[in-house]
Amino acid sequence: MAQKAKEEASKRLHEAGQAHAEFLGQVVPLRVQIVDLKDTVETSKAQQKKLEDHCVDRELKLGATEAALEAKVKAFDLLEAELRAELVKAFAAKDQELASQAEHFKKVEQELVQNVAGAFADGFAEALVQAACANLGIDVSECSPMNEIVEGKIVALEAHED
């Protein structure tokens, strides 16, 4: 009986050994998987840290870019205001210059009209003298550049509203 119990115990020990060997065979790949997973986790953490650092860097650069843009917009607005002020001054000066030129042109026009009227009156008077000289005894006292002939008579020009 002791022999049978020994054989039975040996058999169980052998079966337990085989089960143990099977479990050890399963433990090794599981431990390899655990090591691989730990490596993957560490790699993921490193990548995550790298991505976080990259995001922080991008946010800092974005903030700097936005600040630079805002400064440039302010500088542009100031420059635009200065240019508008300069343009207003320049236009005012040009308007004043044009008004002065218009006044000067009006004076010159009046002088030219006076000169033309004077030259016309002088020419008319010279023509009358020549007509009187060529036709002795003719009366030119009623002749004037401000008269016209109507129905064979000398009459004053009618004022035209121009």
- 67, 59 contact by CB (below 8 A): no
Question: Which residues on adjacent β-strands are paired with residue 154?
Answer: 149
CA distance 74 to 1: 105
Read off the pLDDT of residues 53-75 as tens digits, 9 standing for 90 and up: 999 999 999 999 999 999 999 99
Q: Are 112 and 120 in contact (CB under 8 A)?
A: no
Determine, yes or no, domain membership for 34. yes
| Residue 102 located in a structural domain | yes
Other residues' Cβ atoms within 10 Å of the Cβ of residue 149: 8
User: 147-150 and 153-156 as β-strands: parallel, antiparallel, unpaired?
Assistant: antiparallel
CA 9 to centroid of chain Cα atoms: 97
In a domain, 147, yes or no: no
Q: What are the pLDDT digits (tens) for 107-132?
A: 999 999 999 999 999 999 999 899 88
Q: DSSP secondary structure string, 50-109?
A: HHHHHHHHHHHHHHHHHHHHHHHHHHHHHHHHHHHHHHHHHHHHHHHHHHHHHHHHHHHH
Domain range for 73 is 2-111
Contact, 146 vs 124, CB < 8 A?
A: no
Of the listed ranges 40-54, 109-123, 142-156, the least confidently predicted one is: 142-156
pLDDT of residue 15: 92
Q: Please, what is the average pLDDT of the chain?
A: 91
The residue written with tokens 């490193």 in the block is 46
Check whether 105 has a pLDDT greater than 80.
Answer: yes
Structure token digits, residue 68: 């630079």
Q: What does the pLDDT read at residue 16?
A: 92
**Is 83 inside any structural domain?**
yes
Give pTM, 2 decimals: 0.43
Instruction: Tell me whether residue 11 is in a domain.
Output: yes
**How many domains does the chain contain in total?**
1
**Over 90: is that where the pLDDT of 26 sits?**
no
Q: Is residue 122 part of a domain?
A: no
Tokens for 56? 């922080």
Tell me, yes or no, whether 148 lies in a domain: no
- At 159 the pLDDT is 57
What would the two tokens of residue 99 be?
Answer: 């008004």
pLDDT on residue 160? 52
* Residue 45 belongs to a domain: yes
- Number of other CB atoms surrounding residue 147 within 10 Å: 13
